[in-house]
Amino acid sequence: MIETDILIVGAGPCGLFTVFEAGLLKLRCHLVDALPQPGGQLTEIYPKKPIYDIPGFPEVLAGDLIDHLMKQAAPFKPGFTLGERAESIEKTEDGKFILTSSRGTKHKAPVIAIAGGLGCFEPRKPPIANISDFEDKGIEYIVRDPNFYKGKKVVVSGGGDSALDWSIFLANNVAESVTLIHRSKSFRGHPDSVQKVLDMSASGKINLLTDAEVIGVNGNGVLKEVKVQHQDNSESAITTDHWLPLFGLSPKLGPLADWGLNIDKNSIEVNTFDYSTNVPGIYAIGDINTYPGKLKLILCGFHEATLMVQSAFKRIYPDKNYVLKYTTVNGVNGF
């Protein structure tokens, strides 16, 4: 039995920052994650993708941000159960929770903080009959290392931030050529990214096809071309080494859906006072929660983690008075 003060479900950026904030309150943390390494989506899906809205970092690669968060958490010696999914919970007579993982590992804590990002997720795949024949043979749903596409012909599909950002990144001295295909003339991504794509299309750095979509894939063991249907129902073929259908992820809560939590569209409802759920002692922070005005940004998850641990401290030590101390005065070792 692994015992701790706060059991964190999810070892992504919000879960890791929770360790730091909890450590300032002298609360011990243990993290459980289905992935084999810390970092969540940032490590698993886009470790080399630059992030621009982290305070103090004009630009930071997703993987580097995780490295910094791990160093920040290190003084507080968090424990990790990795490669095991959080499966079930039960309440003990002393008011604590016992969480059992997919491999039977048991964890006990008075507080559970769910920081599971999008939960269990899988890519949204286009409805093409033989698409599975070319998965990891020219078709990738996630960009793990942009250098993999060095000097290659790449087709990207999608109209959101991921498709826009990777088209821009790969077109800048990485891929031999980049074609971005979107079924509409309007995009869902950030206006600045949309404008960059339009500018790069005008200068010839990106081949932009709107009102079009990929309807077929061909090749001999590996992908050789994609078939594109246009608005007028005409078809064309594009020779390519890689096709990236970046239509987002389909989130699923998995076993968390059976924990008695209030759920709204695959997200956990919380009270914004302290990001507590309807189950006393269980909190939810980051992309996995929902409330009026919710923004799914890492920096918002950091804010939620900070308030959450204050409430967790009062729950764990109801008779203790906590006086807020500033790290600028005490440093980290002073806590």
Q: Are residues 262 and 314 in the same domain?
A: yes
- For position 44, what pLDDT does the model report? 72
Q: Are residues 101 and 143 in the same domain?
A: no
pLDDT digits (tens, 9 = 90+) for 23-39: 999 999 999 998 778 99
- The CA R_g of the chain, rounded to the nearest whole Å, is 22
- For position 250, what pLDDT does the model report? 67
- For position 227, what pLDDT does the model report? 97
pLDDT at residue 232 greater than cutoff 90: yes
Which of 200, 215, 245 finishes a domain?
245
Mean pLDDT of 61-72: 95
Q: Are residues 98 and 146 in the same domain?
A: no
Q: Are residues 116 and 130 in the same domain?
A: no
23 inside domain: yes
222 inside domain: yes
Q: Are residues 7 and 154 in the same domain?
A: no
Better pLDDT: 282 or 122: 282
Which of 219, 245, 271 finishes a domain?
245
Q: Are residues 112 and 141 in the same domain?
A: no
Lowest mean pLDDT across 174-188, 200-214, 238-252, 314-328? 314-328
Domain that holds residue 137: 125-245
Q: Are residues 161 and 237 in the same domain?
A: yes
- For position 121, what pLDDT does the model report? 59
297 inside domain: yes
264 inside domain: yes
- For position 84, what pLDDT does the model report? 87
**Structural domain total, the chain:** 2
Check: CB of residue 139 under 8 Å from CB of residue 243. Answer: yes
Q: Are residues 101 and 7 in the same domain?
A: yes
State the residue for tokens 């969540």: 40
335 inside domain: no
Mean pLDDT of 284-295: 95
**Pick from 86, 73, 95: which is nearest to 22 by CA?**
73
The CATH number of the domain holding residue 191 is: 3.50.50.60
Most confident of 30-34, 152-156, 286-290: 152-156
Q: Are residues 133 and 25 in the same domain?
A: no
Which residues, in sequence order, are CB contacts of 127 under 8 Å at separation 6+?
none
Q: Are residues 224 and 258 in the same domain?
A: no
State the pTM of this model: 0.68
Which of 229, 245, 261 finishes a domain?
245
152 inside domain: yes
Residue 262 to residues 129, 198, 204, 251, 293, Cα–Cα distance (Å):
37, 42, 50, 16, 18
159 inside domain: yes
The Cα–Cα gap between 40 and 33 comes to 8
Dihedral of the alpha carbons of 57, 63, 68, 72, in degrees to the nearest 10:
130
Q: Are residues 40 and 87 in the same domain?
A: yes
- For position 119, what pLDDT does the model report? 64
Mean pLDDT of 214-241: 96
Q: Are residues 29 and 116 in the same domain?
A: yes
20 inside domain: yes
pLDDT at residue 314 greater than cutoff 80: yes
State the residue for tokens 């239509």: 247
